[in-house]
Structure formats: structure tokens, C-alpha cells
A and B are shown apart, each in its own frame.
Chain A
Amino acid sequence: MENLRIIYPSDNGGVIVLIPAFECGLTIEEIAAKDVPQGKPYKIVDVAGIPSDRTFRNAWEYQA
């Protein structure tokens, strides 16, 4: 779970990245169900798919 992230679109057209806290004892699916706002689409992705260069972080977009 440490290498997984949850992504979903923000209200302003950007993207929110959820970093799971494995200490809580929930699975990644349970965290997504709980922490992604109801009705929002989301994806569980490998951290390797998240850019580590955040220069343009505010311009990131969610792609379905």
C-alpha cells in the first residue's frame, strides 16, 4: 500500500492525490471509499505514475 496512491479530480479542474496512511489498518480500497468525496471518480495508481517533479503541480489534470 505504501507504493499506491488514489487520485480523483478536484472541484476546480485539478487533481487530488491521496497518500494512504497504512498505520490506520484500512485497505487502499477502504480508504478510497472513505476519503474520496461521494460521486467523484477515482483511480488507484502506483506511485511511479505520479510525477515527482511538482513544478507544474497546480496544472495537473485528472484523466478518466
Chain B
Amino acid sequence: MPVSIKGTGGGSVTLDAGAAAADTTLTLPNTTGTVALTASPTFTGTVTATAITSPSATALTFQYGGTTGATLDTSGNLQFNSGYGSAATAYGCRAWANFNGTGTIAIRGSGGVSSIADQAVGQYALNFSFTMPDANYSTVAVCSDNPGVNPGFVSVIDAGTTTQSPTIGASYNSSGATWLNFDAVYVRAEVVR
């Protein structure tokens, strides 16, 4: 049975807290119902929700003081400001690893990676724990020997695939003209898309 609370002029409806320390619950329409908010009411306190849903074909926007700080557009792109000057699409680091490329190779930390392939002296690749939509992503890596010994140069040796990064080659300049592969103590690699 519909119930409406009407008044003239301004007014409010307040749910008094119960006598015991417990949640005060306002049960809104069932899962297929709609809570219609007129104008732009202000919520105070903390809103807890398991999902925030925007109608189809409508971006979800987060604003502060009327300025858009972040948007989730209808293509799934997350756009945020974070000092950029306006909300722009941010691209994520899909996989990363920090490992010791000497000895039996040891991973210090990683994300989005199922294994590291030790292919040869100074040559490594990241196997992704997921499948990229294509191989047109960007790979960035840096390496060095023990600090102050051999500043390394990193090259990308092949194209990579949707499941494995390009081979990352660590090398150093041994004599001013010759570049030699070497096993780097510090290898840090990221894959961005």
C-alpha cells in the first residue's frame, strides 16, 4: 500500500535511532523499484553500497563542488584528475615485476605475472597471468648490476605476444663500443596498456 508523507513548505522526515545501540534501517523499494530523488539532495554520513549503478549509456561521474574529479565512461574508461588539470583517461599498469636476474633468479615482487622466463644471459620475459587483447601494449624496463658497478641498458628484443611480454635484454657497455648481455641484480619491468 503506497504511503506518502506530505506537508506544505519545507520539512523533514526523521528516523529516530532506536533505544538500543543498533543500526537504524530504512527499507526502500524492492530490487526492481526506484528511489526517486528530486533535485540534488545532500547526503551526510557514510553511504555503504555493494554496487553503484548508472543507467546504460550514461557515464558515472564523481564531482566535488560542481567540478568533475573522476568519470567512469560508457566504454569502461576510468578518467580522473589527480593534478592533471581535468579528468582524463588513465591507463593501467597491467603487469609488473621486480626480480633478481642473477643466480637462480628470484622474484622480489610482481603483479599480473604468472612466471618469469629466464631465456639466456641477461634475457628475461614476463608471462602474464591473463591474456592481453592484443600485443600492442608498451613494455618499460630498467636494470642495473649492484649499485655503482654496471648501469644497465635495457632493450626489447622481440614483439611479445598476448600472453608473454617481449624479451627484455639487459646489457652494459664494456669497452665503449661493445655491448654485452649481463645478468642484472635489479630488473624492474612494467607492461602498460
Contacts and interface: CB of A to CB of B under 8 A. Distances in A.
Interface residues of B, number: 26
B72 interface: no
A52 interface: yes
Interface stretch (B81-89, B108-116, B170-178): B108-116
Contact of B120 (A6, A35, A51, A58): A58
A49 to B, nearest CB: 10
Nearest to B106: A19
Interface in A15-49: 16-21, 23-26, 31, 34-35, 47
Contacts of B117: 16-19, 35
Contacts of A31: 114-115, 127
B120 to A, nearest CB: 5
Give the secondary structure class of B's interface: strand
Nearest to A10: B119
Question: Which of B104, B112, B113, B119 has the most C-beta atoms of chain A within 10 angstroms of its own C-beta?
Answer: B104
Interface of B: 97, 99, 102-107, 109-121, 127, 129, 163-164, 183
6 contacts: A14-B119, A17-B105, A18-B116, A21-B97, A26-B114, A57-B121
Given A16-B117, A19-B117, A52-B103, 20 more contacts: A6-B115, A14-B119, A18-B116, A18-B117, A18-B118, A19-B99, A19-B105, A19-B106, A19-B118, A21-B115, A21-B116, A24-B110, A31-B115, A34-B163, A35-B114, A35-B115, A35-B117, A50-B104, A54-B121, A57-B121
